Amino acid sequence: MKAVFKRKPAKGMELIEAPVPKIGPRDVLIKVSIASICGTDVHIYDWSRWAQQRFTPPRIIGHEFVGRVVKTGEEVTYVKSGDRVSAESHITCGHCYQCQNGSAEVCRNFKLLGVDHDGTFAEFLVLPEHVLWKNDSDIPDELATIQEPFGNAVDTVLSEDISAKTVLILGAGPIGLFATGIVRACGASLIILSDPNDYRLAIGRKMGAHITVNPKKHDVVKIVMDATKNNGVDVVLEFSGSSQALNQGLKVITPGGRLSLLGIYERMVNIDLNKEVIFKKIRIYGITGRKIFSTWHKTSRFLSSGLVDPTPILTHQFPLKDYEKGMKLMREGKCGKVILRVDG
């Protein structure tokens, strides 16, 4: 089978011929139809600081996909040959304290698909059945493949009620753009989107942002305060991983407001906890992964009902062999979400 492979601890990857993986008694063999590129995959390709600390080659990469079951182990009961599936990328143990207390997304022993376990940028993939998700027939493949990152946006937005709230979204990468559509669908009264990329801000307007701001050109704090009549926003959703953006967000949260953090920071972040958090009584949520599997149900319903239409975000498609073209576009910020046609 063809697969995108990270062979050594250096920049780059390669397209290889690899053997079709074998299954165990509780495993499922899946023929991948479409995979989508995540920023994590670009970090691994570029051999960034994060990748050097977290990823150990050799490994087939990728963790977002949709495909068909082609073979099941003898103890598998949940899926059968022909089922169209995606999967939770956190392969959890099911036995640790977190798994047994409703927080499997922070399993102590999880393995991450495409990082600790061979991933989805391949014609075939083997996964344990307990992480599989049967896709709604009303969701086309192009949308089924994005449910994993879409779920990140769902949990970030819905860590508290959002209806009729004023919201600042920091970062217009694909997940920030998904969040924009979710916030709009859930009835926010004002949506402000900040990002230094005008291409992505234009997509954000299609997804429902009322005001878009390029922080390289305009004063984010002033624009937010003017738009809210100096009250500040009820909610800040941080997707950028920029400490500057985070501090802007903290300045414009109204006292008693809520901050949800999904962005990953390269370095330690300095925050004036007294002034910006404690005395303002700000509630902060750290978001990682998705709730397994309650968030998948919400994600599926957002997409199958048409309540959120993310198609403006899906800007490019390539065959698997052209994966480098997609990564280049992501690195340059000249795309929304990039999907790879694995089945041709």
DSSP assignments along 65-102, one per residue: EEEEEEEE-TT--S--TT-EEEE-SEE--S-SHHHHTT
Clarify whether 120 is annotated catalytic.
Answer: no
User: Above 80 in pLDDT, residue 168?
Assistant: yes
In the residue annotation, 40 being an active-site residue is answered as yes
CB 2 within 8 A of CB 17: yes
Closest to 314 measured CA to CA, from 111, 151, 150, 160: 150
The b/e string for 108-140 (b: 16+ C-beta within 10 A; e otherwise) is: eebebbbbebbbbbbbbbbbbbbbbbebbeebe
Q: What is d(CA 258, CA 236) in angstroms, rounded to the nearest whole number?
A: 6
Q: What is the pLDDT of residue 341?
A: 98
Catalytic residue among 43, 130, 297, 316: 43
Cα-Cα-Cα-Cα dihedral of 299, 303, 305, 306, to 10°? 140
Instruction: Work out the pLDDT band at 29, boundaries 50, 70, 90.
Output: very high
Q: Map out the domains of the chain with their CATH numbers.
A: 2-146+310-341 (3.90.180.10), 153-286 (3.40.50.720)
pLDDT at res. 266: 84
Tell me what the pLDDT averaged over the chain comes to: 97
pLDDT value of position 180: 98
Q: Tens digit of pLDDT for each residue in 280-293?
A: 999 999 999 999 99
30: helix, coil or strand? strand
Answer yes or no: is pLDDT of 344 > 90: no
What are the tens digits of pLDDT across the range 224-275? 999 999 999 999 999 999 999 999 999 999 999 999 999 999 889 999 999 9
d(CA 173, CA 195): 8
